[in-house]
Amino acid sequence: MTSSAAVPSGDFAVQILRALDVSSPLLSAEAFPDRKYVEIKAALDRLASREMIKYDTIDREEAVLEPEGEVIAENGSHEARVFEALRAAVEGLSVQELEKVIGDKNITKVGQGKAFKEKWIAKTSDGKLKAMKDSIEDITKEQLQTIRDTRMLSDSKALADLKKRKLIRFEKIISFKIHKGSKFALEIPEEAVDLTAEMLTSGAWQSIAWKPYNFRALGAEQNSGALHPLNKVRAEFRNIFFDMGFTEMPTDKYVESGFWNFDTLFVPQQHPARDLQDTFYIAEPKLADKPRPESPDDKKDYEKYWEEVKAVHQDGAHGSIGYRAPFSDEESLRLVLRTHTTAISSNMLYKLAATKGPDGRPPPARYFSIDRVFRNESVDATHLAEFHQVEGVIADYGLTLGGLMEFMSTFFGKMGITDLKFKPAYNPYTEPSLEIFAYHQGLGKIVEIGNSGMFRPEMLEPMGLPKDMRVYGWGLSLERPTMIKYGISNIRELLGHKVDLNFIKTNPAVRLDKN
C-alpha cells in the first residue's frame, strides 16, 4: 500500500502547511494534540515526499495513570481515606465500621496498614481505630494529580516507586518536529498518478506534476499460475538423469502382482515387508495372471522365467542355496499396490535380458523413474500411505563397487551434495547394499539420503542376464530431500490435499545445485 493512499483527508496536510507558515519549526504534539499518530505520519510523509516539508521524529516516554491511580488521584490514597474517615469519627471506628464508611474492603485493609506505618492512626484500648493527627499531607495523591495533568513528574525516584506500585505505566509517545522544505507552499499542487495515452496525445505530460512513486512498496500482484514444488524438484531430478543418459521407465502400473513386486526381486515370500501391516493388498481384483506376453510380438518365455524364479527361491539355483522354504503360487499372484518402483525395474531388466546388442549380448542400459508408491503406513508427520520414489538402474558388464560409489558421488554432486559415506546395509534384492549418507549442515550430522546396491545374482540370472552383466540400483524418496531443502517437518504440508495453495504459489524455482 502506498502511503499517500492512506491519507484520510487532504485538508489536514494543508492545515499542517498553514500552521508551519505561522511558526516553523512546529511541534506536532503542541500543534495537533488530538490527531492520531498514523494520521499525522501519513500527512507528513505525503508532504515530505514532495519536499514541501522535512520532519524529525521525537521519541518520548510519558507516564499515564493506571485505573487504580486514577481512583487515587480523584479520591486520595488509601491511607489518606482511612485517616480522613477516622478523623471525622470522634469516637473512632471498629474495623467493620471503617469498612462500611470507606465502602471497599481491600482499600480499607491496604490503607490501614500504611496509615499505621505512618503513625497517622492507632488502636484504642477498646479495639477501635482512631486518628492520631489533625491533618496529614497526601503526597501520593498530589504526585498522581501532577502526572495526570502534565504526564510527567520531576522526582524520578517517586516515579519509579509509583510504577512499582502499579499506579502508573509508561507509554512511548512519538511526535514530530516539522520544518519547511525546499518546495514549501501553502497548497498541494495537482498531480498525475500515471502516464496515460491521453497525456501523450495532448502533450500534457510535458507540464504535468507527478505524484511521487512509492519505491518502498511491492508491485502489482501477477495472478500467476504455479507448478507444484514437489514436481519442480522432480523436474530437477529428471534433468540430472537425462544429463547422464538415462531412459525413463514406464511406471504406469499402480497395481503389481506379488511376482513382479517381490518374487522377481528375490524378496522371500515370508519377508515382513509382505505383511498386511506394510503392503496394501487388493480386494477387487484379487489375483493376477501368471506373467505372460504383453503383445503378439513378445516372444519371451514367461513360463520358464516363472519356474526359474520359483526355483531360486525354493530350492536355490545359479550358485545360491535359496531360501529353502515353500514357494506359494497364490502368494505370487496376489495383487498389491506397488510398494516400490523396483517392480518396474525388474520388468525392464527382464526385457533387457531378451534384447540383443550389436555383439549379441544384452546391451548396457540406464533406466530411471520417479513415481508414486504405496505403503500401508500409519499416517504421521513423516509418513504417508503414498510417496514418490526416485529410482535409477545401470546395467553393464564388469561393474564394480568403486564404480557405484563414484557414480553416486557424481549423481548427488549435481544436487550440491558432496562427501558421501557408504554404510553396509541389508536389502533382500541387492548384495552388496550400501546406504548413502551425507553431512547435513542444518542438523549438524550425517543423515541417510538414499539406498543403493548391486542387484543379487538370484534376481538377475533367472531373467537370463549374463553372469558378468552387473546391475546397480539405487533409490530415494522425492519428498525427503524436498522436506530437508525447504525445512518442512510435516509431509502433509508437501503432498496431498492439505497442502496450502499459498505455499505452492510462492515457492521459489528449484535449483538443486544452488542453495
Partner 1 sequence: MPTIAVDKAALFEELGADYTTEEFEDLCFEFGLELDEDTSQSKKPEDLAEPSQLKIEIPANRYDMLCFEGIALNLRVFLEKQKLPQWTLTAPASGELQTLTIKEETARIRPLCSGVILRNIKFTQERYDSFISLQDKLHQNLARQRTLVSIGTHDLDTVNGPFTYEALPPEEIEFMPLNQTNKMNGKQLMEFYEKDKHLGRYLHIIRDSPVYPVIYDSNRTVLSLPPIINGDHSKITVNTKNVFVEITALDKTKVEIVNHMLVAMFARYAESIEPIRIISPHNNESREAPDLSPRETQAEIEYLNQVTGLNLPPTEISRLLSRMGYTVAPSKSDSKLLDVSVPITRADVLHQADIMEDLAIAYGFNKLPRQNPNKSATVAAPLPINKLGDITRLEAATAGWSEVMPLILCSHEENFEWLNRIDPGGLAIKLANPKTAEYQIVRTSLLPGLLKTISSNRHHSVPMKIFEVSDVGFIDTSRERKTRNERHFAAAIMGKTSGFEQVHGLLDRLMLMLKSAFITREEGLTNKKLEGYWIEELDDPTFLPGHAAAIKLNIAGKQHTIGTFGILHPSVLQKFELQYPVSTLELNLAVFL
Q: Which is nearer to partner 1, 175 or 430 (CB)?
A: 430
469 vs 217, 329, 361, 457, CA distance in Å?
63, 29, 10, 10
Only segment of 34-42, 137-145, 183-191, 277-285 that touches partner 1 (CB under 8 A): 277-285
Q: Is 67 in the site for partner 1 (CB under 8 A)?
A: no
Q: Is 315 in the site for partner 1 (CB under 8 A)?
A: no
Q: Which is nearer to partner 1, 211 or 300 (CB)?
A: 300
Q: Which is nearer to partner 1, 179 or 383 (CB)?
A: 383
User: Which of positions 84-143 make contact with partner 1 (CB under 8 A)?
Assistant: none
- Minimum separation from the CB atom of position 316 to partner 1 (A): 7
Q: Which is nearer to partner 1, 38 or 227 (CB)?
A: 227
CB within 8 A of 209, min separation 6: which ones? Answer: 189, 190, 191, 192
CA-closest candidate to residue 84, choices 54, 115, 59, 119: 115
User: Which of positions 148-167 make contact with partner 1 (CB under 8 A)?
Assistant: none
Only segment of 83-91, 108-116, 186-194, 289-297 that touches partner 1 (CB under 8 A): 289-297
Report the alpha-carbon distance of residue 132 to residue 119 in Å, rounded: 7
Report the alpha-carbon distance of residue 508 to residue 485 in Å, rounded: 12
Q: Which is nearer to partner 1, 77 or 389 (CB)?
A: 389
Q: Confirm if 40 and 28 have CB atoms less than 8 A apart.
A: yes
User: Which of positions 223-242 make contact with partner 1 (CB under 8 A)?
Assistant: 223-228, 230-231, 235, 238, 241-242
Q: Confirm if 81 and 111 have CB atoms less than 8 A apart.
A: yes
Reduce the secondary structure of 460-504 to three states and give it as a string: HHHHCCCCCEEEEEEEEECHHHHHHHHCCCCHHHCCCCCCCHHHH
User: Which of positions 167-206 make contact with partner 1 (CB under 8 A)?
Assistant: none
Q: Is 403 in the site for partner 1 (CB under 8 A)?
A: yes
Q: Is 337 in the site for partner 1 (CB under 8 A)?
A: yes
Q: Which is nearer to partner 1, 272 or 442 (CB)?
A: 272
Q: Which is nearer to partner 1, 44 or 471 (CB)?
A: 471
- Minimum separation from the CB atom of position 111 to partner 1 (A): 49
Largest CA-CA distance found in the chain, in angstroms, rounded: 127
Question: Binding residues for partner 1, how many (CB under 8 A)?
Answer: 114
How distant is the alpha carbon of residue 312 from its chain centre? 50
Report the alpha-carbon distance of residue 336 to residue 348 in Å, rounded: 19
CB within 8 A of 390, min separation 6: which ones? Answer: 237, 368, 369, 370, 475, 476, 477, 478
The single residue among 190, 297, 330, 500 that binds partner 1, judged by CB under 8 A, is: 500
The single residue among 69, 457, 475, 481 that binds partner 1, judged by CB under 8 A, is: 457
- Minimum separation from the CB atom of position 236 to partner 1 (A): 13
Report the alpha-carbon distance of residue 149 to residue 70 in Å, rounded: 12
Q: Is 497 in the site for partner 1 (CB under 8 A)?
A: yes
Site string for partner 1, 407-446 (x = CB under 8 A): x-xx----------xxxxxx-x--xxxx------------
User: Which of positions 342-401 make contact with partner 1 (CB under 8 A)?
Assistant: 363-366, 369, 372, 374, 376-379, 384-386, 394, 396-401
CA-closest candidate to residue 374, choices 481, 255, 266, 283: 255
- Minimum separation from the CB atom of position 312 to partner 1 (A): 10
Angle between helices 37-49 and 10-22 (to 10 degrees): 80
Report the alpha-carbon distance of residue 93 to residue 100 in Å, rounded: 10
